[in-house]
Amino acid sequence: MLPTSMGGAGHGTAAADERAMSIGTVLLQLRDEFPEVTISKIRFLETEGLIEPQRTPSGYRKFSSADVERLAQVLRMQRDHYLPLKVIRGHLDALARGENVALSAAGGQRDLGDGSWGSDPDRATAARIGRSELLAAAEVTEDQLDEWESYGLISSTREGAYDAEMVTVAKLVADLGRFGLEPRHLRAMRAAADREAGLVEQVVAPLRRHRNPQTRAHAEATAKELAELSVRLHSALVQTALGIRLH
């Protein structure tokens, strides 16, 4: 059973310290209800801003009973409603503001009277933008975008729309260009990203084919967690390689 918050005045520092838990203890608290949860999953949810545990002077995480309950809420919404993290964060933030918001079984959110969320199903899916919106948001020209697309750095859907994340890609390509790195130089990065995506897909593909709908829903969260770990590893490897070559 998950711990409940101990409210009220009169609890001293010692009592507060007793309630503070390590990440390993939190894992044990959650395992009964969420057997697939891992320490890396908890850390991933922290990096995504879903929880903010306190840190000791030496950098160790210390979780309160409220942190554990919030983690449980996040995991339940992923499991029961198949929601992406951005929607879960918005729902929890709305609850924290005292707004009366409920989740629909289809994975979206519905308003219970204040009109703050509505019933827009796109809140639970990746945002798409048009070409003109991409050009304006990334502050690039048609010629630049055409060139980047020819090298596979930017890609659109069959309908000619772009994932909103392509704005970030375009800005980064433009920033690298100021250092003399041309699109032809960046093809290796694109190829590496495709290979990393392929590895992630190998891991989550069995989850997506599973008979259990909860396991299938877990595939998206697993893919995001693996993507985050892959990016962190890539960054660490590049920095390590540069450190070796520059010394």
pLDDT in tens, 55-76: 888 888 899 999 999 999 988 8
- 27-42 core/surface letters (b: 16 or more CB in 10 A; e: else): bebbeeebeebeeebb
Distance CA 159, CA 198 (A): 24
Give the domains, in start order, of the chain with CATH numbers: 16-81 (1.10.1660.10), 127-181 (1.10.1660.10), 186-247 (no CATH)
Token pair of 147 as six digits: 């060139």
Distance CA 154, CA 54 (A): 39
Distance CA 129, CA 32 (A): 42
Does residue 245 carry a pLDDT above 80? no
**pLDDT for the residue numbered 63:** 93
Task: pLDDT band for 161, please (50, 70, 90 cuts).
Answer: confident
Distance CA 163, CA 48 (A): 19
Does residue 227 carry a pLDDT above 60? yes
Burial class (CB in 10 A: 0-12, 13-18, 19+), 162: buried
Residue 180, H or E segment: none
Distance CA 182, CA 140 (A): 15
Does residue 125 carry a pLDDT above 60? no
Task: pLDDT band for 246, please (50, 70, 90 cuts).
Answer: low
Q: How far is CA 123 from CA 65, 71, 76, in A?
A: 30, 21, 18
* Residue at token pair 């990746």: 126
Residue-wise DSSP of 18-43: HH-B-HHHHHHHHHTT-TT--HHHHH
pLDDT in tens, 88-118: 888 888 888 887 666 544 334 433 333 333 3
Does residue 28 carry a pLDDT above 80? yes
Distance CA 118, CA 113 (A): 9
Distance CA 220, CA 214 (A): 11
**pLDDT for the residue numbered 102:** 61
- 215-243 core/surface letters (b: 16 or more CB in 10 A; e: else): bebbbbbbbbbbeeeeeeeeeeeeeeeee
Residue 63, H or E segment: none
Q: What is the signed CA dihedral for 225, 103, 74, 212, rounded to 10 degrees? A: -60
Beta strands 162-163 and 128-129 are antiparallel
**pLDDT for the residue numbered 137:** 84
Does residue 195 carry a pLDDT above 50? yes
DSSP for residue 135: H
Task: pLDDT band for 217, please (50, 70, 90 cuts).
Answer: confident
**pLDDT for the residue numbered 147:** 94
